[in-house]
Every structure is written in C-alpha cells, then in structure tokens.
Amino acid sequence: MQAYFSDKTVLITGAAGFIGSHLVDQLLKFGATVIGVDNFITGRHVNLQHLANNSHFTLIEADVSQPVASYLSQEQLESLGLVLHFASPASPPAYQNKPIETYLVNSSGTHNLLSALQANNPDCRLLFASTSEVYGDPLVHPQTEDYFGNVNPNGERSCYDEAKRLGETICGVFQRYYQMDVRIVRIFNTYGPRMRFDDGRILPNFINQALERKPLTVYGEGKQTRSYCFVDDLVRGILLLASGAELSGETVNLGNPEEYTVLETAVLVQKIINGSVAADDILFHDLPKDDPTRRKPDISKATELLDFTPIVDFRTGLEQTIAYFESPESKILD
C-alpha cells in the first residue's frame, strides 16, 4: 500500500477535519505530497498546525462546493494522482446548523471535482467519503452495500443523508459514462483524537459529560445500537481502498462490526473516567426523530477486497480518545 502513495500528489478536501487530518498525516508518512483544502466550517487549524513547516504539505482555505479553478491552479490539478473527497460537516448538530453548505459540498462539490478531473486529468483516481447514514434507519441488519436504505428524504437529517446519496449517484455517473476511476467508502461511526469538543455525537457527548461529572444523556431507553471504529483502523481501510488495483466503481463499508447499545456505551465511558456508575449518572430523554435504532456494518466486502479487519478494541480506543479530550488542544475550536 505504501508504495502506491510514495511520490504521488494527493488532494484531500476537508483536510483540517477529524478524519481528513489523520489522512494527511498518514499520507505524508507514506511519502506523498499532499494538497489540503478546507473552509474551516467544522475543520480546525490546530489539527494541522504541526505541519506548518512541512514542504510536502500545502493548505488552501477554500469552499470545495465552488468550481475547482477557484482554489487549484491548472498545474496543481494536472499534478494530482488521487483525490480524497472528505469535505462535509458530519455530525448532526453541525450539518443541521449548516444544511445548505452540507448538501452543496456533497453534490455540487463532488460534481465540480469530477468534471474538472474528467476535462483535465481523467486518469486521476477519486475516492468519495460517503456514510452509513445512506442506510437511514435500516430495515435490514447488519447493513450490506447492496441495501438501498430507509431514509426520510425531507427529515432533519436529510441535508446530509440525501446529499451523500446524491454524491454517490454523481460518482456512479462519472465512473460509468466516462470510465473514470471512482470509488466510494461508506463510513460507519468513527471516533478518536481530533474529534471536535462540540461534535455533538454520542462519544464526545458522553466523554464531556463524564469528565465534567454530569449525568450522561441517553435517548430513549438506550437500547438502540452503534458500532464504533477507531480512527486509525478507518484510515488504514480508506487507504487500502484508495490504493487497491481494479477497484474502480466499488462501494465498500468501513467500520467495526462490534455492536454496543447506547446504554452500554454510556456505562463503559462512565466506568473508564469515574470508576463506577450510579443510578443518577444516566439521564434519559426522548428519542430524536429519525435517529437510527440499529447500526452495524457488514464488512465482508472490505475483508474480501481489502483484507481489512479492525485492530483497535473499543476500550483501548476510548482510553486514547478520553486522553485527547482531557488535553488543552481538544478545547481549541478555531
């Protein structure tokens, strides 16, 4: 895998985000030259500040939903060997706060990138970051790539869910009609260092509440399930998919298939941080609309095509994530 990236120029959109910044680091370790683009709606400068003097990394502050010529020179565009399109708010509070920006970057942004490549650099490979949210509140369990999903097209989460589904459609059109090398990764719940303090998803919420010795907020009865993948495992899977031969047109789930209820998750976080769980440490609220009741990836395809299996166990990953949330860096929301 490393040999594929060595001496290659890679564009990463959303480079200052949680996953994007980890991809930047790993690609630089592999010897790639990286151009990162981010408009910092949810990305953070602190995630990339350690690369300020790295001659193999260029950071461009720009809106990826705009035409590519507005942020890349012709020379930069023609130099690309790979595009990792990861620009988008990803947590429900973030994309519900920026719904237009969310649907534009996943639709117009994807179309603009592929159009520019098709016209100027058609041999460049593109990997689109989709999401398990395309399955909505699934009626099949676990979710395989051939499941079409159960999504509310006009719900509170649709600006993200449906934008990702449209992004996948756009990728398919360019792959089929223009024979471009386009791949899609459907990312399931991911956690780890560099998640935003105010991310709003389950693990940052639980960790912040436990660190502040506040009751942990559980929605419904906490019986809904999630599967959590540590960011190092996810990044490895993404780069395996990006570098693999003869994978054009493939859509692959990436995540950890170990399943936990929300209540089990809250109890584990509380025990790691505070040592025990009392009755008043959990506060129950009504279940939000369109919140998936079960979420678990079937990663058989990833195992077969990429030889991918998660390595980091949940407790170990949680301990590293908690340590990050205890650091001053995690509180910087620039």
User: Annotated catalytic sites, by residue?
Assistant: 160
Contact 71, 64 (CB under 8 A): yes
Sequence-ordered list of residues with C-beta below 8 angstroms from that of 200, at least 6 positions apart, any chain: 91, 92, 93, 94
Contacts 24+ apart (CB under 8 A), 57-62: 57/24, 57/28, 57/33, 58/34, 59/15, 59/16, 60/35, 60/36, 61/37, 62/37, 62/38
Contact 271, 230 (CB under 8 A): no
Q: How far apart are CA 157 and CA 201, in angstroms?
A: 13
Structure tokens at 65: 């939903």
For residue 84, the tally of other CB atoms under 10 A from its CB is: 28
Q: How far apart are CA 52 and CA 45, in angstroms?
A: 10
Q: How far apart are CA 113 and CA 66, in angstroms?
A: 9
Alpha helices in the chain (DSSP H): 2-5, 18-29, 74-79, 92-97, 99-120, 158-178, 202-211, 231-243, 262-274, 300-306, 314-325
For residue 251, list its beta bridge partners. Answer: 184
